[in-house]
Structure 1
Amino acid sequence: MAKSNEPLTESYFYILLCLFNGPNHGYAIMQETATLTGGRVKIGAGTMYGAFTNLLKKEYIVEYSGVENEDRRKLYELTDLGREILQGEIQRLKQLTQNAIEVMSKEEDL
């Protein structure tokens, strides 16, 4: 599995997560992120398109080359590398959470 040298930002994490099940466009990703996080994380248009540029450079996503959607918005999809990076980040976050639970549960035992 490919490993990222640095953790993903929340915006990058949610963009990749929203592409996990298939191609999507920026506005839908912004809406889905807000829904998933109960409004805690809001990705603005400027952040979204800056993130798309960086994620394209890193080859975590590509422009979708399949059938064009009806409203002509650009669609993006996760690459195999992007999928590996997302899965690695999820494992990293699981370990962080597990470590916190272990440490904090010791205090409860006192």
Structure 2
Amino acid sequence: MTEQTYYVLAALLDGPRHGYAIIKHAFELSGGRVKLPVGTLYGSLDRLADQDLIELDHEEIVAGRPRRYFRLTGDGRQAVVAEAARMQKAARLVLRHTAVRPATA
């Protein structure tokens, strides 16, 4: 799973969000590392929907334009949780290894 995909899914853990809200929340969750251009986001959302990891929650019209809200599916929630566990395990391995061997300058 790419970092961008991970943060898109993570941005939906608290509930449905529209595109711009996903961009902002992914940026915040990543500590400013993940900056999703609009085109990249909507390509990711389409791909995630095709994989049944997210689905359309609802649409509303704002200033004459449709705003689509997306939510995680059960599979999407499982995928982001599994990825978080995988990263945690990988980090523990590295941190344990570096704790055994002192860093050299």
Give your verdict on TM over 0.5: yes
Percent pairwise identity: 32
* Structure-2 residue corresponding to 1:24: 17
Q: Does 1:76 align with 2:70?
A: yes
TM-score scaled by structure 2? Answer: 0.88
Amino acid at match of 2:73: T
Count, aligned residues: 100
Q: Which has the higher contact order (CA 8 A, sep 6+)?
A: 1
User: 1:97: Cα distance to partner?
Assistant: 0.4
With normalisation by structure 1, the TM-score equals 0.84
Which runs of no fewer than 5 residues in structure 1 stay unpaired?
Answer: 1-7
Stretches of 4+ aligned residues off by more than 6 angstroms: none
**Please, what is the CA RMSD of the aligned residues?**
1.6
Higher strand share: 2
Residue ranges of structure 2 left out of the alignment (5+ in a row): none
Give 1:28-43 correspondences, 5 Å limit. 28-43=21-36
